[in-house]
Amino acid sequence: MSDRFAARRDRFWKLLRDTGVDAFLVSNEMNVSWLTGFTGDSSWLVMSAGQSILVSDSRYETQIAEECPGLELLIRRTDQKLPQVACDYVNSRKARRLGVEGHVVTLETREALVGGLAAADLIPVSMRIENDLRSIKDAEEISETRKAVNIAGRGFDFLRATLRPDQTERDAAYELEHAMRKIGAESVAFTPIIGSGDRAALPHYRPGDRKIGDSDLLLIDWGAQPPSRYKSDLTRTLVFGKPSSKFAKVYNTVLEAQKRAIALIRPGARCGDVDRAARGYIADQGYGKRFGHGLGHGIGLNIHEQPRFAPGSDTELKPGMIVTVEPGIYLPDWGGVRIEDDVLVTKDGCEVLSAHVPKELDQMITHW
């Protein structure tokens, strides 16, 4: 296990050659975890040529020894702050150019680093770990994501089987989370979005006290997080009773848009082109102004990672990337439909990891 993370650190250090840095500070919690295997927080990784050291505190001394065998550890005293200890170490290495995650470091942290460094200049380097490394999953990461997807799918099956008209959106969210935990999740990947009726038109709605049986449609956006912390992210939209012609048109438009986008996913495809396939179809059906968010995003240790499907994006898909594809149509005062699957980019195309979760219109019809 430790060799796996050491190899990741080696790969990252090689990526930094073009920056000219002789030391690098990793302060993003998930990037520290990805590079070391450590699952705690409040810790920074300082890297230099041939050496990496994790700066943490006494709470995590035993945990780090277990999770990161062989990684050098520097425990700060209770009267010391992370920037101070990190700077002391960098000064001892006589570094002249300290790279930092420019998209992570706050103004307060920057001031503390500048004040604590003896001679090193700060060099902002943004999104290299996220874009160049974490966006492409290895075999173990793919396996853990499959687990997360399978747990989510089984949780959805349980929720459908136990839905009641008098159940509130919030109660349904609790039942879904409980089911996934029983199946093997450590937690939900994010707070589930369960919106009934016109609340389904709010893409990031928080479930409330509305009774599910008071409306004829229910949007469910959910995901599972197993102990590995790799996440899944799915959405389905249920209809209760015979679908209206309006619902059927909206639903089938979203479904066809999603299928067209997934058909384009393969190595070398540009994210903007995949987004355009879905967005263009929805626009052609007259709903262009009602699809206002990106088509999807990468998933992994974070629920939103690189790459991103967005208009104009030139990012090319590569084998090992895992992305969501989630077109939607949202009509105020009526409701919304979103369909989301998790998709792995393979060497010669793609695999829908959530293909076992039904999504055809006739499969979404639910009866009390």
Assign residue 341 the CATH number of its domain.
Answer: 3.90.230.10
Cβ atoms 13, 129 nearer than 8 A? no
Q: Are 295 and 174 within one domain?
A: yes
Q: Are 186 and 317 within one domain?
A: yes
Q: How far apart are CA 198 and CA 335, in angstroms?
A: 4
Q: Are 335 and 207 within one domain?
A: yes
**Boundary (domain end) residue, out of 134, 159, 192:** 134
Structure tokens at 236: 């389905």
Report helix, strand or coil for 127: coil
Q: Are 306 and 170 within one domain?
A: yes
Segments forming the whole domain that contains residue 89: 2-134
Report helix, strand or coil for 143: helix
pTM of the shown model: 0.96
Q: Assess whether pLDDT exceeds 60 at residue 1.
A: no
The crossing angle, in degrees rounded to 10, of helices 82-92 and 107-116 is: 40
Q: Average pLDDT of 189-211?
A: 98
Q: Are 124 and 199 within one domain?
A: no
Q: How far apart are CA 354 and CA 138, in angstroms?
A: 19
Q: Are 263 and 325 within one domain?
A: yes
**CA 366-207-253 angle, 5° bins:** 50
72 exposure class (CB count in 10 Å sphere: 0-12, 13-18, 19+) = exposed
Phi first, then psi, for residue 259 (nearest 5°) are -65, -40
Q: Are 202 and 312 within one domain?
A: yes
**Boundary (domain end) residue, out of 134, 154, 188:** 134
Q: What is the pLDDT of residue 175?
A: 98
Specify the number of domains making up the chain: 2
Cβ atoms 260, 277 nearer than 8 A? yes
Q: Are 34 and 178 within one domain?
A: no
Q: Average pLDDT of 273-299?
A: 98
Structure tokens at 165: 């008209």
Q: How confident is the model at residue 250 (pLDDT cuts 50, 70, 90)?
A: very high
Structure tokens at 87: 């700077």
Q: How far apart are CA 110 and CA 116, in angstroms?
A: 10
Q: Are 108 and 188 within one domain?
A: no
Phi first, then psi, for residue 41 (nearest 5°) are -135, -170
Query: What are the respective helix, strand and coil percentages of the chain, to the nearest 5?
Result: 40, 25, 35
**CA 192-332-293 angle, 5° bins:** 60
Residue 43 sits in a domain whose CATH number is 3.40.350.10
Q: How confident is the model at residue 201 (pLDDT cuts 50, 70, 90)?
A: very high
**Boundary (domain end) residue, out of 134, 153, 183:** 134
Q: Average pLDDT of 29-38?
A: 98
Q: Are 115 and 161 within one domain?
A: no
Q: Are 201 and 339 within one domain?
A: yes
Q: Are 158 and 144 within one domain?
A: yes
Q: How far apart are CA 56 and CA 18, in angstroms?
A: 29
